[in-house]
Amino acid sequence: MINVAIVEDDFRVANIHEKFLNEIYGVSVVGKAHQAIDVLKIIRENHVDLLLVDIYMPDKLGTELIKELKLDYPHLSFIVITAANNMELLDESLKYGIFYYLIKPVAMEKFTEVINNFIKRKALLESKELVTQDFIDQVLKNKVTEIQEDNELPKGINSITLKKIVEIIGSMDNGATAEEVGIKMNASRTTARRYLQYLVSIGKVKAELEYGIVGRPERKYYL
């Protein structure tokens, strides 16, 4: 279980992010702050593992908040969620060691992917007392590889979801429809079809029309 606090001045956005978090197994939301000063009370009264931080706060920039909290609470991790898309703020955030930087509005799928990656990385780091170079390479390479892969993919497609879909199709001997894939990946049929069509376009998956006893033919996908 990881404890997450939200620092977001727009209460509607904060509520949306809380709703996203409540859908993720292993996550507990311990508080929401609508300005930087309010987050201190949450941190003092709760064990917080991860802070979701907006950049533009009424009383302080999120980057300044992260810098200050890093000194007093070195165990804290940060994910920036902001409308700020200039390179200077991204560079500053990365220098403070944030886990990820998300641009608003954030789709639930991307939000969930990043939180789950944080959970996996945290569990990986806590699984050993002594580390080897191979272990370090695994921790650091996973993060870099994901960014590089996603940068090479079309808009709306990410590498983690692609891998998951390939695993789903591979587990189904008789092929899978877009609807079946959507159910297994907890996404809409439209989203599943978009990923499947991309996999077909790169030759990873093949699509075939299958005719049932009645009704229109359905498209099934195979590795």
Q: What band does 35 get if pLDDT is binned at 50, 70 and 90?
A: very high
**Lookup: tokens for 203:** 């030759």
pLDDT surpasses 70 at 146: no
Listed as own residue / partner, the contacts of 214-221 with beta carbons closer than 8 Å and 24 or more positions apart are 218/177, 219/177, 219/178, 220/174, 220/175, 220/176, 220/177, 221/169, 221/175, 221/176, 221/177, 221/178, 221/181, 221/196
Strand (E) positions, the chain?
Answer: 2-7, 27-33, 50-53, 77-82, 100-103, 206-210, 218-222
Pairwise CA distance, residues 47 & 5, whole Å: 10
Pairwise CA distance, residues 79 & 113, whole Å: 13
123 SS3 class: helix
How large a percentage of the chain has pLDDT more than 70?
Answer: 91
Tens of pLDDT, residue by residue over 170-206, are 888 888 999 999 988 888 888 898 899 888 888 888 8
Sketch out the chain's domains with CATH numbers.
Answer: 2-113 (3.40.50.2300), 160-222 (1.10.10.10)
pLDDT surpasses 60 at 105: yes
pLDDT surpasses 90 at 149: no
Its pTM stands at 0.62
- Strand-pair partners of 27: 2
H or E segment to which residue 108 belongs: helix 108-125
Averaged pLDDT of the chain: 86
Pairwise CA distance, residues 135 & 189, whole Å: 38
Q: Which of 21, 194, 13, 8 is nearest to 105 (CA)?
A: 13
**Lookup: tokens for 167:** 């695993």
Q: What band does 151 get if pLDDT is binned at 50, 70 and 90?
A: low
